[in-house]
Amino acid sequence: MRFLLNHPTERDTAPGLACNPTRDNAAATRRFLTPQIVIRLLAFILLTGALSLAQDKNSPQQKEPTPSPRPEATRAQQKSDQEKEAERKEQSQRVLGVLPQFGVSSRQNASPLAPRQKFHLFVKSAFDPVTIGVVGLQAGLSQAQNEFPAYGQGAEGYGKRFGAAFADQVSSGFWSNYAYPVLLKEDPRYFRLGEGSFTARAFYSIKQEFVCHTDKGGRMFHFSNVLGAFTGGAISNIYYPGKSLARVIPATATSPAIPVYYESERGVSLTMSRAAIALGYGTMGGLFDEFWPDIHRKFSGKHQTQSSSTPGDSK
């Protein structure tokens, strides 16, 4: 689930047509995501991560179990059949049997992933049929609301919206879950705490967005996640539409022709806002990953209790 939520969707960053009063939702989004707000949001996110990392280093007793530092190559070679089977099960997890949850582990001392395993995790998450279906739904909603009007309508407009949304998904996964983790020797998975108070687990989950497990068994700032969000946001400037002509108001006897342009979907401000949105979605995805087993266990337990009590009632 975290891999589905770690990229900005089209509806979050869509501007409207310049001077078009019917684009209230997109205009409200643009007004809300002002450069000042984006900068403050990013500063808050990075400060939270820095404080979390400093707390980990300065705390004499850590509540979270930490693996013993060992060379990553040795650990990878010593993987037992049981551990390989556990990894296979983890990378086949689905919420309600549908939504992929491949990048989540409940084993705090799990061995690190080799580069080829990180690549396999990225490919499996990014190109899962359910993930592609969610992207298609996002593109359909975007077209229904006429977001990114420069893309137009019809099959061509839908194809462009789908391509942009899918490019967001693949780019985010490639940089955050494969390229940077391999380069920086970081683990892209979410490691569930699974015990403790709600507050402690929620804080732990938020911290996971900014503090990661390393391939040597330690902890460090999650550069892969943050750099991946900014890299994906920067690359999106290639395929999102720039400023383009929408129409021309014909000239009259008293005024010349007036061109009306679609607002540009590129630039530093939009790159920053997309990165901030991606990190925000990643944080929400981490919270979901942390508490979903508890939610599922609670509701499935109630269902089983009701089912087992039904036969005894008819006597």
| pLDDT of the residue at 45 | 55
Cβ burial of 273 (10 Å; 0-12, 13-18, 19+) is: buried
Q: Which residue has the tokens 């503090």?
A: 211
Name the strand (E) or helix (H) holding 75: helix 72-77
Whether the Cβ atoms of residue 10 and residue 139 lie closer than 8 Å to each other: yes
Going residue by residue through the chain (315 aa), what tens digit of pLDDT does each one get?
655 555 554 444 433 333 333 333 333 344 344 455 545 555 555 555 555 555 555 544 444 555 445 444 445 455 677 777 888 888 888 888 888 889 898 888 888 899 999 999 999 999 999 999 999 999 999 899 888 888 888 999 999 999 999 998 899 899 999 999 999 999 999 999 988 999 999 999 999 899 999 998 889 999 999 999 999 989 988 888 876 555 667 777 777 767 666 676 777 888 888 888 888 888 999 999 999 989 888 887 655 555 555 555 544
Which residues neighbour 60 within 8 Å (Cβ) at sequence distance 6 or greater? none
142 φ/ψ angles, rounded to the nearest 5 degrees: -60, -40
| pLDDT of the residue at 52 | 52
- CA–CA gap between residue 85 and residue 79 (Å, rounded): 10
| pLDDT of the residue at 201 | 93
